[in-house]
Structure 1
Amino acid sequence: MSDEAAPVVVEPAQGAWQDGAQHVQGAPEAVERLRALLEADPRLGEQGPMPSLYHLRIAVAQGGRGPLLEVAYTFGPPALPEGTVRIDTIRAVERPVAFDYDVPGIALPEEAEADPESGPGAVTVRDPAAEEIAARQVTEAWERIVGWLAEHAPRSHRTLLPAAGEEEITSAEQAFGVRLRADLKALWRRCAGVVDKHGAEFLPHNRALMTVGESLRIQRMQLGFGNEDLWRPSWIPVCSFNAHDTTSGLYLDMDTGRLCHWDRFGDRHPVHDSLTTYLEEIADTLDVPSLAGPPEPGLARGVLTWRPAGASDEGWRPLAR
């Protein structure tokens, strides 16, 4: 018998491409390059908190340029037979400002380091003045978004729910078991989520703003798994791929104030410095569409939707630049 190891087989799962990522120019070629890399080194990615699960980010263009693809894959036992790689999801993502993912397999950013003078287990002290400023900025950015929807995307605008009352927010804070940040409460004081119907997924990557109740339900569900690496009480879900989705979305970290990505494969990483940054970038992009991409904002029969560069769905047109 030969001493040579059996070749590694790399295949994408059916439906691995998400949100039209295959339409990003150069994305299919980038995935083909990645397949060759995984055949040579199936442990190229960063291993997730669950066995057999890995994730990484690659640049679409060679040399580390252009948009990024976020790839989650499964390798070997216990989930798959030995020598088998299944690419589970491929998504186009915005290039983070603070981190560099150009090299496949680079570790995802760790949580912010604790202040060495504070000692272990120290509680972060929030600045009331800074929180007040953040709440005002969130309110202003959200009003810009809502105003734009009312004028240009009426079907999306009609999915907005009224503001949450102070009693509802106070009750939610008690149920979450953590002190909510002022920026999140400011958002809920303007809008308590969306109605789950066509047009509601108007946030970038076609995400929907969760209701307060749905945010609490998903937090409790995630905490029910009992794994602090997968979910912590201070992580409050904000939006996902629909108003009830539990597989992927964004949560706000009450400890750091950062807006972070989660998915069912155990990937957790920051994508925006704050909720303020996220909403201001959306408002700026709607006002000046040339700032976008990918994904690119556009309209389809009164609905705001976001498509990666190069996508051309019937009835969808990009915003005028």
Structure 2
Amino acid sequence: MSQVDEVASAWERIVGWLRRNAPASAEALRPGASDEEIARLDAALGFDIPDVLEVWLRLNNGSTAKDSEKPIPGGGTALLPHRDSLVLPGGMRFLGCKEIAHRHAEYLYIARDIGDDEYWKSPWIAVMEQSDAPYGIILDAQNPSGPPPLLRFSEGDYPTSFLPSLGDFLRPLSDLLETGQAPGSVMAHERFTVAEGRLRWRE
């Protein structure tokens, strides 16, 4: 199975499980990204996103459908993530095209501002993030010879290697949701509950 097919298959299993077991969380998933949204994201990043990310976004354009924004005094807006957005382990939400582009620009600006090219590189794409702090997962698009690996990032630290591919994250997650276990994988120790139709990850 190709990496693209693996990502699509695993995510479809996850979405199916959410719809059957945690419908309130499933409602946080946006419809798939359009050609225009993908094109705008490519333009904002300055390169075409990897196929594995494109197929994921075309299935669902993030888990931010219930998020909202409020104006900030002096201009701009602040994002107010909804608790149902946190469909991924670690209390993370799946970022859509708009959020990915915004985070990419923000982190590159910080890298330039502090004069540290190692803080954030242009091919790094934040695809999952906690709602209350800059902690999450990067898809590293600078690997032209194979599937883009995942990096883990956190405030104040340089990103570090996490998993060989996006499929290595989503496949065991689908196993965990369907069977309650994913031995030998990054999900082996993750635990969750469902209450009132909502998925909640235990810390």
TM-score by length of 1: 0.52
Of 240, 259, 263, the residue aligned with 2:154 is 263
1:241 counterpart = 2:126: no
Deviations 1:14-52 (A, max 9, x none): xxxxxxxxxxxxxxxxxxxxxxxxxxxxxxxxxxxxxxx
1:214 counterpart = 2:99: yes
Following superposition of structure 1 onto structure 2, how do residues 193-212 of structure 1 map, counting pairs within 5 Å? 193-194=62-63, 195=65, 196=67, 197-212=82-97
Residues 178 and 233 in structure 1, CA contact (< 8 A), matched pair in contact too: no
Following superposition of structure 1 onto structure 2, how do residues 84-95 of structure 1 map, counting pairs within 5 Å? none
For residue 246 of structure 1, report the CA deviation from its aligned partner. Answer: 5.4
Number of aligned positions between the proteins: 175
Distance 1:307 1:293, change over 3 A: farther
Segment of structure 1 superposing worse, 230-239 or 290-299:
290-299
Residues 179 and 254 in structure 1, CA contact (< 8 A), matched pair in contact too: no
Whole-Å separation in 1 of the counterparts to 2:124 and 2:181: 33
Whole-Å separation in 1 of the counterparts to 2:38 and 2:194: 33
Correspondence for 2:168: 277
Correspondence for 1:231: 120
Following superposition of structure 1 onto structure 2, how do residues 291-306 of structure 1 map, counting pairs within 5 Å? 291=182, 292-306=187-201
Residues 118 and 158 in structure 2, CA contact (< 8 A), matched pair in contact too: no
Residues 259 and 273 in structure 1, CA contact (< 8 A), matched pair in contact too: yes
Give the secondary structure class of the aligned counterpart of 1:175: helix
Correspondence for 1:153: 22
Deviations 1:269-309 (A, max 9, x none): 1211111111111101111213254221221221112214x
Of 176, 180, 187, the residue aligned with 2:56 is 187
Distance 1:151 1:289, change over 3 A: same
1:251 counterpart = 2:138: yes
Residues 125 and 139 in structure 2, CA contact (< 8 A), matched pair in contact too: yes
- Larger CA Rg, structure 1 vs 2: 1
Whole-Å separation in 1 of the counterparts to 2:200 and 2:133: 21
Whole-Å separation in 1 of the counterparts to 2:19 and 2:200: 15
The one-letter amino acid paired with 1:154 is P
Q: Runs of 5+ in structure 2 lacking a partner?
A: 68-81
Give the secondary structure class of the aligned counterpart of 2:30: coil
CA RMSD of aligned residues (A): 1.6
Whole-Å separation in 2 of the counterparts to 1:298 and 1:271: 25
**Which is helix-richer, 1 or 2?**
2
TM-score by length of 2: 0.81
The one-letter amino acid paired with 1:264 is E
Whole-Å separation in 1 of the counterparts to 2:126 and 2:133: 10
The structure with higher relative contact order (CA 8 Å, sep 6+) is 2
Give the secondary structure class of the aligned counterpart of 1:238: strand
Whole-Å separation in 2 of the counterparts to 1:298 and 1:269: 29
Q: Runs of 5+ in structure 1 lacking a partner?
A: 1-129, 309-321
Deviations 1:59-101 (A, max 9, x none): xxxxxxxxxxxxxxxxxxxxxxxxxxxxxxxxxxxxxxxxxxx
Following superposition of structure 1 onto structure 2, how do residues 44-63 of structure 1 map, counting pairs within 5 Å? none
Give the secondary structure class of the aligned counterpart of 1:187: helix
